[in-house]
Amino acid sequence: MARIGLLSVLLFILTVDVAYGQCSMCRAVLESEEGQQTAKGINNGILYLMAIPYILVGLVGWQIFRLTKKKAE
């Protein structure tokens, strides 16, 4: 069972081409302009803002893990 889950996750990671963080309306408005530089900048900004909470939660979890490991020793 764990092997199927691992294969599913691996398949999902390998099939993701490009992640877009824009809603469909924002994307339609931004793609109508020439050059698409604004659309790319907005998309990168959205993905950047989305990653910050995950990084912070990971750091807090790592600190908690480190503190509990230190107390156990």
pTM of structure: 0.50
For 8-24, the pLDDT digits (tens) are: 877 777 766 555 656 77
Closest by CA to 26, choosing from 5, 48, 41, is 41
For 35-49, the pLDDT digits (tens) are: 777 777 877 888 888
| Measured torsion, CA atoms of residues 64, 5, 46, 52, in degrees rounded to the nearest 10 | 10
For the chain, the domains span 21-72
